[in-house]
Structure 1
Amino acid sequence: MQGQMLIVLVLVAACAVYAGWSLAPAVARRALARAALRLPLPGFLARYFGKVALRASAGCGCDGCDAPPPAPAKEQPIRIHRRSDP
């Protein structure tokens, strides 16, 4: 029974950390990422925290919403096919 409790504890803790990281403001994530970079981390975590720490701190935080919309597609006629009732 102790092994099952340990697995549940690890899963719940991992989910809580993930939810906290996802819902945290960008300023808090950047500060935590900078603090984590001071620790000896595996390569994939160091790369991820490095990307998070270098993200721009100003602006609205959108991903391309300030770009102009794409050109509208060429207009095409709509064809309506009516069925003949038997």
Structure 2
Amino acid sequence: MSAQMLVVLVVVAACAVYAGWSLAPAVARQAVAKAALRLPLPGFMARYFGQVALRARAGCGCDGCDAPAPVAREQSIRIHRRSGP
């Protein structure tokens, strides 16, 4: 196996893991995160999986999209007239 094939294999595997993680339901991500916390992980990965494991389970898993939109303030409208036709 050439070095190019090895690099392509690593990149494709990383992309597949990322796509699977980002498209997985929140419940599945929490279960994987809790299982991963039992392994000896580097500090940044343990912190990330700890945050994922502690997130509250939402009914839709939308991460805040069901929150009401902030109320817009009133803003004045300025009309600039151009001279000419």
How does the TM-score come out when normalised to structure 2? 0.83
CA distance in 1 between counterparts of 2:58 and 2:82 reads 56
- 1:22 corresponding residue in structure 2: 22
How many residue pairs match? The answer is 84
Following superposition, the deviation at residue 78 of structure 1 comes to 2.9
State the 4+ residue runs in structure 1 displaced beyond 4 angstroms.
none
Specify whether residues 80 and 23 from structure 1 end up closer, same or farther in structure 2 by C-alpha distance, changes over 3 A only: same
Which residue in the other structure is 1:69 paired with? 70
Identity level (%): 63
Query: Cα RMSD between the aligned structures?
Result: 2.0
For the pair shown, the structure with the greater C-alpha radius of gyration is 1
Q: Which amino acid aligns with 2:42?
A: P
Alpha carbons of 1:64 and 1:5: their partners in 2 closer, same or farther (altered >3 Å)?
closer
Question: Could you tell me how far apart the structure 2 residues matched to 1:54 and 1:73 are?
Answer: 35
* Whole-angstrom distance in 1 between the partners of 2:13 and 2:65: 34
5+ long unaligned stretches in structure 2: none
1:75 and 1:8, CA in 2 relative to 1: closer, same or farther beyond 3 A? Answer: closer
What do residues 34-80 of structure 1 show as CA deviations (whole Å, max 9, x unaligned)? Answer: 0000000000000000000000013444326424623x323414314
Equivalent position amino acid for 2:46 in 1: A
Structure 1 residue ranges without an equivalent (≥5): none
